Amino acid sequence: EAQVTQNPRYLITVTGKKLTVTCSQNMNHEYMSWYRQDPGLGLRQIYYSMNVEVTDKGDVPEGYKVSRKEKRNFPLILESPSPNQTSLYFCASSAWGVRPNTGELFFGEGSRLTVL
Amino acid sequence: GQNIDQPTEMTATEGAIVQINCTYQTSGFNGLFWYQQHAGEAPTFLSYNVLDGLEEKGRFSSFLSRSKGYSYLLLKELQMKDSASYLCAAQDSNYQLIWGAGTKLIIKP
């Protein structure tokens, strides 16, 4: 089954304690992206990756890191989480290496993070 | 700057028709997406338009006018399960998606 898998789905942590949210896709997609979603603000892109070893900042990259060492995995790292990073996080992938692009985004189920 | 506008909330009656509008301003344009998102769940793809006109897919249709920077999503024969948020997203010249804040659709019996 084609899917994007994120872990953990729910996490409560404390300020400053490093954490990693994993994301894996089994569709051989070139493009992967991380979003955060907050009430009234919609989806905001954190980082994206067009292919292995290629990552770029989105709209709200501060406080986050990513890596793309393998095509299927795109972990999101919070080196020193703060309460303003409490949010719902989505990983997504797409076959956007192909032009012209009609590729839809496939989303993971989301990771709800609370930083105390 | 780049911007997407859509209404925050709409209410409609079961069995009726509702139109959700979206206006966009982007640096270049490579298509307009609509996604559905039920509360607490991931967005799921509904439609993609890149040419002017109407695309019909069952009870859902999506319209695009590139000259006006305007799209709408039309939902017919509304069902209670259509209660969700509907997200409009425009793709810019770099193929990046610019997202609207979403329209929460409430269906009443």
A99 pLDDT higher than 60 = no
DSSP category for residue A73:
B
Residues B44-73 have a mean pLDDT of 96
Q: How many CB atoms lie within 10 A of CB B103?
A: 20
Q: What is the DSSP string of B31-66?
A: EEEEEEE-TTS--EEEEEE-SSEEEEETTEEEEEET
pLDDT over 70 at A102, yes or no: no
Q: How many CB pairs under 8 A join A and B?
A: 46
Residue B32, min C-alpha distance to chain A (Å): 10
Q: Given 3-state DSSP classes, what are the helix, strand and coil percentages for chain B, each rounded to the nearest 5?
A: 5, 60, 40
% pLDDT > 90, chain A? 78
Q: State pLDDT tens for residues B1-57.
A: 789 999 999 999 999 999 999 999 999 998 999 999 999 899 999 999 999 999 999
pLDDT of residue A101: 52
Asked whether residue A43 carries a pLDDT value surpassing 60, the answer given is: yes
The answer to whether residues A89 and A34 touch, using CB atoms and an 8 Å cutoff, is yes
Q: Does B27 touch chain A if contact means CB atoms closer than 8 Å?
A: no
Per-residue confidence band for A100, with pLDDT thresholds at 50, 70 and 90: very low
Local structure of B70: helix, strand or coil? strand
Give the containing element (helix H, strand E) for A106: strand A106-107
Any chain A CB within 8 A of the CB of B6?
Answer: no
